[in-house]
């Protein structure tokens, strides 16, 4: 799988299917480029389950440098507690297939070593790998031989609150295989839809499925954002109206106070020529009052400036909310278009599945007829 997995380099760190903020759970072999993609992602936990001790050794070396990375030398199975992993002279054939099957197809391949490997079910594995409901997760299966078994078990035990993204790496007919044995139908019943079937190599395909509930969640988020926008706009208009009313009141009050102060000042000027000590005292009091009024005016102007700044900040928040709403609306439109495309793909896939079932039925009838003729 190493040569074929290198084709995964077509994904950037921003668009890779495993770019999540939670856990990446990888079942099967993992090569350098695929592992580098995991380590470059925003995942907080990377858990690799592989039966090949030699391949797992290089992963364990990297785990010492990145605490997010954990490894487990096990095989996904619910039949036995232990199974045998076969190591051959050509590492591409390492796996669970016994020598008689491998050497029948590849006579030059020699058995080098047998390794006892512990088995575990998907249910026990999910219990061990904690997945938070608040984060996004990804389950990657990079083994054609166990893909059906893993997804069958996964579809039966997955929590309704934790919905990881599913990625299957396999041969070109992996989608047909999963559809033929009912795995895809089970995933559909669990709320999953196939969102991507991408041929990365002449004999290598990536199949990705995601929870359909994410589309509804995005629509709910858009409605909530629109509600927040309307509420913020209403508060903004109310605050702006109150600010205008308060500004008018302050301006009117200032005009009255300034007119009164000027009138008192003019009267005092006319009495200056004949004023007495008592008049001087009264004038000083008036001067003090005038100074206080001027201080009040300065404070009022500062308050007006502060209110203007608050109004400007509120306007900036409104603009940010409008931009976010536009982005969410655009994303929702894209998801709706993608949902329509997925429905078309699903209809096509269902038609192909039905065609295969009809062909199988015809083949069965031919076999029965052949036996009857014999």
Summarize pLDDT for 287-306 with one digit per residue, the tens: 888 888 888 888 888 888 88
DSSP state of 27: E
Higher pLDDT residue, 158 or 278? 278
Q: Domain map of the chain by residue range? A: 2-211, 217-335
Phi, psi of 161 (to 5 degrees): -95, -25
Instruction: Indicate if the pLDDT at residue 118 is higher than 70.
Output: yes
Question: What's the pLDDT tens digit per position in 237-260?
Answer: 888 888 888 888 888 888 888 888
Mean pLDDT of 122-143: 82
Nearest to 133 by CA among 163, 112, 88: 163
Question: What's the pLDDT tens digit per position in 313-333?
Answer: 888 888 888 888 888 888 888
| Least confidently predicted of 18-32, 216-230, 260-274 | 216-230
Give pLDDT, residue 5.
42
Higher pLDDT residue, 26 or 349? 26
Give pLDDT, residue 176.
74
Instruction: Indicate if the pLDDT at residue 13 is higher than 60.
Output: no
The string of DSSP codes covering 341-366 is HHHHHHHHHHHHHHHHHHHHHHHHHH
- The 10 Å Cβ neighbour count of residue 228 is 13
Bridge partners, residue 88, by sequence: 111
Average pLDDT over all residues of the chain: 79
The string of DSSP codes covering 52-118 is -HHHHHHHHHHHTT-TTEEEE-EEE-SS-SEEEEEEESSGGG-BSS-HHHHHHH-TT--EEEEEEEE
How confident is residue 49, by pLDDT bands cut at 50, 70 and 90?
very high
Give pLDDT, residue 355.
86
Do strands 74-76 and 111-120 pair parallel, antiparallel, or not at all (unpaired)? Answer: parallel
Instruction: Indicate if the pLDDT at residue 3 is higher than 60.
Output: no
Burial 285-314 (b: 16+ CB within 10 A, else e): eeeeebeeeeeebeebeeeeeebeeeeeeb
Instruction: Indicate if the pLDDT at residue 1 is higher than 50.
Output: no
Mean pLDDT of 106-118: 92
How confident is residue 98, by pLDDT bands cut at 50, 70 and 90?
very high
Identify the top-confidence range among 83-92, 138-147, 149-158, 204-213: 83-92
Q: How far apart are CA 114 and CA 95, in angstroms?
A: 10
Q: Could you tell me what percent of the chain has a pLDDT over 70?
A: 82
Tokens of 222: 């858009």
- The 10 Å Cβ neighbour count of residue 351 is 10
Q: How far apart are CA 141 and CA 29, in angstroms?
A: 9
Name the 3-class secondary structure at 132.
Answer: coil
- Determine the topology of domain 2-211 in CATH: Rossmann fold (3.40.50)
Mean pLDDT of 198-208: 66
């Amino acid at each position: 799988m190493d040569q074929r997995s290198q084709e995964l380099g077509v994904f950037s760190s921003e668009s890779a299917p495993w770019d999540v903020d939670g856990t990446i759970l990888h079942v099967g072999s993992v090569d350098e480029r695929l592992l580098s993609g995991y380590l470059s992602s925003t995942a907080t936990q990377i858990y690799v389950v592989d039966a090949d001790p030699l391949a797992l050794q290089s992963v364990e070396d990297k785990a010492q440098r990145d605490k997010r990375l954990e490894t487990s030398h096990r095989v996904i199975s619910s039949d036995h507690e232990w199974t045998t992993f076969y190591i051959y002279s050509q590492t591409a054939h390492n796996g669970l297939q016994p020598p008689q099957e491998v050497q029948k197809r590849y006579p030059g391949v020699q058995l080098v070593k047998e390794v006892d490997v512990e088995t575990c079910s998907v249910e026990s594995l999910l219990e061990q790998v904690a997945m938070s409901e608040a984060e996004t997760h990804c389950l990657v299966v990079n083994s054609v031989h166990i893909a059906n078994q893993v997804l069958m078990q996964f579809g039966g035990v997955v929590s309704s609150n934790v919905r990881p993204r599913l990625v299957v790496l396999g041969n070109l007919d992996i989608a047909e295989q999963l559809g033929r044995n009912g795995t895809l139908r089970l995933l559909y019943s669990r709320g999953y839809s196939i969102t991507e079937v991408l041929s990365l190599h002449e004999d290598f395909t990536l199949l990705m499925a995601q929870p359909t509930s994410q589309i509804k969640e995005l629509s709910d988020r858009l409605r909530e954002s629109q509600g927040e926008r309307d509420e913020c706009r209403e508060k903004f208009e109310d605050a702006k109206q109150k600010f205008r009313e308060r500004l008018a009141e302050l301006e009117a009050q200032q005009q009255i106070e300034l007119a009164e102060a000027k009138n008192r000042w003019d009267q005092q000027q006319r009495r200056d020529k004949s004023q007495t000590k008592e008049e001087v005292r009264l004038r000083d009091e008036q001067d003090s009052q005038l100074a206080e009024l001027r201080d009040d005016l300065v404070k009022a102007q500062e308050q007006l400036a502060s209110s203007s700044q608050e109004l400007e900040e509120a306007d900036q928040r409104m603009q940010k909310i409008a931009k976010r709403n536009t982005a969410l609306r655009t994303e929702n439109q894209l998801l709706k278009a993608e949902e329509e495309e997925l429905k078309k793909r699903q209809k096509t896939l269902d038609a192909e599945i039905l065609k295969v079932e009809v062909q199988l039925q015809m083949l069965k009838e031919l076999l029965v007829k052949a036996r009857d003729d014999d």
